[in-house]
């Protein structure tokens, strides 16, 4: 349970072996490649250049094609299953089967072509539908649309805004000339349509009379026959397009039995992208290439036989202290502490050659979370829910870690709930009161304490847990400083404050509590004075002048206020516990007023809401205590997460034998 020791790998091999070597390293899954630090002043680097990025572009195009085809298939033939459907398992050989990958690409191309044809049909359908909409107002008129009149008669297709007075316009035209007739057509949201037939000599008078009403002349050229005839023809073409779209959709849906092949091809394309991205970190010459990277020290014996199959030269060395900032961080944890790496990665990876925080944080996180949740019922729901999800879905990565972490927190909640006698708040007590089973029922066994009745005990317990974590963080800092040769800093800082804080507690207990020997108070004062002396000496040695005295008083002020505020922060343990318990009790009491059935309904809804709120609140506040109050004592961040070139899949799980 520590930060894994890493080795640096530098390798030179023949360029024709590059692809095969990268594939081997990807399946090995333990080497993180990095861009070598190029010394531009060194003539030896002049012959080396970055590989061509065309392969990465091609890989991304193939991935986009395959991903798009899979999404299209899922749209026309939704996959059966649900939230708890596990990912299919395939062998590594199936994933890297070139023939299967080529077949997946062919299938994706066919689906893409079908989707393209559907898009064309839909575009054509939209165009035809727009034409049909434009013809609908004229469907009431039995007149050919190509009619434009002759030497004597003018035919005008026109429209005015829907808010204009159509009858007034008709009257204005009648007043202007007797050689015109207006025939109303349809109306849409914006316009009123009509047909004007007039003598050629009266066309100008008609137009001028209609202009004040917003008249606009419409051009219906290109149509032949009546509007009704054209609408029927458009309906036939729209029906044909709908049938074609439906047919193509069915053809796509028939590929549903090849969904796994398509998913496998998508994941295979992702491996190509990863490999091409890592290829960009190499340096090439005409005949050879140079590789620079890191791997765990324990994996060196497994890597060397693989490299023996290639004509290459390599060296594996220990990182120097100057290289520590570049060393990727891999944490080695057991099943209990490994899930908490999700918190470490979210916060920041520790610096190389420092302490792994996961084993130190895990017990506190589990205990604090369970204490704030503090309910048997909520704990059972958490434990069974997460266990079911882990067994049924078999998730990986961050989701697996989160589910495992909440499972352990659920067990902790059950433990604390047993001590407090809480099962969905006071659900059982209210239930037995309603049913009359036992009006004196409180809990099956005497609770050690109850949050509402023993608030002082809960407050003191929260502070004590905070003191334990703060002192643990200080102890880790002392150990780290001694390990790195900073003994004087440890003595004059953490150890000095140990003496001050413990001495103050002993002095208060010995002088303020009746029955405690007075010698204890005297001993506390002596220990506290020793702490102040160590703090003063440390400041004088660091400042090497009288300014150390000023720093000494500053440290006292900052230390007392800092430790006091940090320890008081742990009162949030009490606050979250009290809030969750009271909210659950309120819902239970509210439901019990109306009888058994309403009680069960209200209690179920209320406790479900309370569980969701508690999950969010307990997680956030427990996380805050770890990241601020605990990590701030000893944690050195700045490390880079270890991301080796490896097989990473999204749609399938790989079952492979150990290399």
Q: What angle do CA 370, 585, 443 make, to 5 degrees?
A: 70
Report how far apart, in Å, the C-alpha atoms of 244 and of each of 115, 223, 236 are. Answer: 12, 25, 12
Question: What does the block give as tokens for 568?
Answer: 């008081």
Hey, which residues does 193 pair with through a beta bridge? Answer: 159
Q: Find where tokens 């023996």 sit.
A: 308
Q: Say if residues 220 and 145 touch (Cβ distance below 8 Å).
A: yes
For 119, counting Cβ atoms within 10 Å of its Cβ (0-12 exposed, 13-18 middle, 19+ buried), the class is exposed
Share the mean pLDDT of the chain: 88
In this structure, how many other beta carbons lie within 10 angstroms of the beta carbon of residue 141?
Answer: 19
Q: Measured between alpha carbons, how far is residue 617 from residues 79, 279, 301, 613, 620 in Å?
A: 36, 44, 47, 6, 5
CB–CB of 328/32 below 8 Å?
Answer: yes
* pLDDT for 271 beyond 90: yes
Nearest residue to 76 (alpha-carbon basis) of 237, 266, 238, 259: 259
pLDDT at position 42:
64
Q: Residue 49 pLDDT more than 90?
A: no
Residue position matching structure tokens 């606009």: 216
Measured from the Cβ of residue 42, the count of other Cβ atoms closer than 10 Å reads 8
Percent of the chain with pLDDT over 70: 95
Query: Above 70 in pLDDT, residue 419?
Result: yes
CA-wise closest residue to 406 among 370, 352, 440, 361? 370
Lowest mean pLDDT among 182-191, 507-516, 612-621: 507-516
Q: pLDDT by residue (tens digit) across 325-360?
A: 889 999 888 888 889 988 888 888 898 988 889 998
Residue 170 has pLDDT above 80, yes or no: yes
Among 642, 620, 6, smallest CA distance to 341 is for 642
Span 477-490, mean pLDDT?
87
Nearest partner of 9 among 332, 328, 350, judged by Cα: 328
**What is the spatial distance between Cα 66 and Cα 266, in angstroms, rounded to a whole number?**
6
Cβ atoms within 10 Å of 487's Cβ, excluding its own = 13
- Cα separation, 177 vs 168, in Å, equals 14
**Is 220 exposed, middle or buried (CB count within 10 Å of its CB: 0-12, 13-18, 19+)?**
middle
Residue 1 clears pLDDT 60, i.e. is over it: no
pLDDT of the residue at 443 = 60
pLDDT at 276: 92
Q: How confident is the model at residue 378 (pLDDT cuts 50, 70, 90)?
A: very high
Asked if the model's pLDDT at residue 438 lies above 70, the reply is no
What 8-state DSSP symbol labels residue 319? P
Which range, 405-419, 441-455, 477-491, has the best average confidence (pLDDT)? 405-419
CA distances from 596 to 93, 428, 588 (A): 60, 12, 11
**237-250: burial string, b at 16+ Cβ within 10 Å, e else:** ebeebeebbeebbe
Measured N-to-C along each axis, helices 54-76 and 98-135 cross at an angle, to the nearest 10 degrees, of 60
pLDDT at position 522 is: 82
Separation between Cα atoms, residue 409 and residue 383, nearest integer Å: 8
Q: pLDDT value at position 41?
A: 60
Look at residue 426 and tell me whether its pLDDT is greater than 90: no
Question: Environment class of residue 575 by beta-carbon count within 10 Å: exposed (0-12), middle (13-18) or buried (19+)?
Answer: middle
The pLDDT of residue 62 is 94
The stretch 9-33 carries a mean pLDDT of 92
Instruction: Enumerate domains of the chain plus CATH numbers.
Output: 147-219 (3.30.70.2750), 340-640 (no CATH)
Angle at 142 between CA 139 and CA 143, to 5 degrees: 105
Question: CB–CB of 503/529 below 8 Å?
Answer: yes
Which residue, among 428, 414, 417, has the nearest Cα to 450 in the 3D structure?
Answer: 417
Pairing of strands 288-296, 32-33: antiparallel
The two tokens of residue 85 are: 């459907």
Residue 362 above 70 pLDDT? yes
Predicted pLDDT of residue 659: 40
550-559 average pLDDT score: 79
Tens digit of pLDDT for each residue in 238-262? 999 999 999 999 999 999 999 999 9
**Residue 200 contacts by C-beta under 8 Å, 6 or more apart in sequence?**
149, 151, 152, 153, 154
**Residue 658 — very low, low, confident or very high, per pLDDT cuts 50/70/90?**
very low
Residue 108 · residue 265 · CB < 8 Å:
yes
Q: Please, which pLDDT band fits residue 265 given cuts at 50, 70 and 90?
A: very high
φ, ψ for residue 311 (rounded to 5)? -85, 95
What confidence category does residue 61 fall into, taking pLDDT thresholds of 50, 70 and 90?
very high
């Amino acid at each position: 349970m520590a930060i894994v020791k890493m080795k640096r790998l530098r390798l030179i091999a023949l360029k024709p072996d590059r692809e095969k070597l990268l594939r081997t390293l990807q399946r090995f899954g333990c080497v993180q490649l990095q861009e070598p630090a190029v010394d531009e002043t060194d003539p030896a680097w002049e012959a080396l250049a970055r590989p061509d990025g065309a392969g990465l572009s091609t890989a991304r195009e193939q991935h986009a094609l395959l991903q798009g085809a899979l999404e299209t298939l899922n749209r026309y033939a939704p996959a059966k299953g649900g939230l708890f459907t596990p990912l299919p398992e395939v062998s590594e050989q199936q994933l890297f089967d070139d023939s299967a990958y080529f077949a997946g690409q062919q299938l994706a191309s066919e689906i893409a072509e079908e989707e393209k044809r559907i898009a064309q049909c839909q575009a054509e359908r939209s165009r035809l539908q727009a034409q049909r909409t434009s013809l609908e107002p004229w469907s009431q008129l039995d007149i050919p649309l190509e009619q434009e009149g002759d030497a004597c008669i003018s035919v005008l297709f026109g429209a005015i805004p829907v808010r204009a007075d159509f009858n007034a316009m008709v009257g204005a035209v009648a007043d202007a000339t007797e050689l015109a007739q207006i025939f109303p057509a349809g109306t849409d949201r914006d316009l009123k349509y009509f047909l004007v037939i007039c003598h050629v000599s009266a066309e100008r008078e008609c137009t001028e009379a209609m202009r004040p009403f917003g008249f606009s002349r419409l051009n219906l050229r290109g149509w032949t026959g009546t509007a009704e005839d054209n609408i029927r023809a458009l309906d036939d073409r729209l029906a044909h397009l709908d049938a074609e779209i439906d047919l193509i959709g069915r053809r796509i849906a028939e590929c549903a039995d090849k969904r796994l092949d398509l998913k496998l091809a998508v994941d295979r394309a992702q491996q190509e992208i990863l490999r091409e991205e890592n290829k960009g970190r190499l340096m090439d010459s005409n005949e050879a290439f140079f590789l620079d990277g890191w791997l765990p020290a324990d994996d060196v014996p497994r890597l060397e036989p693989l490299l023996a199959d290639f004509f290459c030269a390599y060296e594996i060395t220990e990182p120097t202290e100057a290289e520590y900032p570049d060393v990727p961080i891999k944490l080695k944890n057991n099943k209990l502490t490994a899930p908490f790496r999700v918190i470490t990665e979210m916060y920041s990876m520790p610096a190389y050659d420092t302490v792994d925080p996961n084993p130190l944080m895990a017990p506190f996180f589990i205990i604090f979370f369970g204490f704030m949740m503090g309910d048997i019922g909520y704990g059972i729901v958490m434990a069974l829910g997460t266990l079911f999800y882990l067994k049924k879905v078999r998730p990986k990565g961050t989701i697996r870690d989160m589910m495992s972490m909440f499972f352990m927190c659920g067990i902790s909640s059950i433990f604390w709930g047993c001590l407090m006698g809480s099962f969905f708040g006071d659900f059982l007590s209210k239930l037995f009161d309603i049913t009359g089973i036992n009006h004196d029922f409180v809990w099956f066994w005497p609770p050690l304490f109850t949050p509402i009745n023993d608030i002082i005990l809960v407050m003191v317990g929260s502070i004590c847990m905070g003191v334990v974590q703060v002192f643990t963080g200080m102890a880790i800092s002392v150990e780290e400083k001694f390990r790195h040769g900073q003994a004087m800093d440890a003595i004059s800082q953490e150890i000095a404050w140990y003496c001050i804080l413990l001495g103050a507690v002993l002095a208060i207990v010995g002088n303020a509590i009746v029955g405690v020997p007075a010698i204890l108070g005297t001993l506390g004062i002596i220990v506290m004075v020793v702490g102040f002396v160590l703090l003063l000496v440390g400041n004088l040695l660091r400042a090497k002048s009288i300014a150390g005295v000023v720093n000494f008083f500053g440290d006292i002020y900052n230390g007392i206020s800092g430790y006091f505020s940090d320890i008081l922060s742990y009162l949030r343990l009490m606050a979250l516990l009290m809030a969750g318990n009271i909210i659950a009790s309120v819902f239970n009491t509210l439901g019990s007023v109306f009888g058994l059935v309403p009680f069960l309904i209200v209690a179920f809804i209320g406790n479900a809401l309370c569980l969701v709120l508690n999950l969010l609140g307990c997680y956030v506040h427990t996380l805050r205590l770890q990241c601020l109050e605990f990590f701030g004592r000893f944690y050195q961040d700045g490390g880079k997460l270890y991301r080796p070139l490896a097989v990473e899949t999204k749609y399938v799980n790989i079952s492979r034998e150990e290399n």
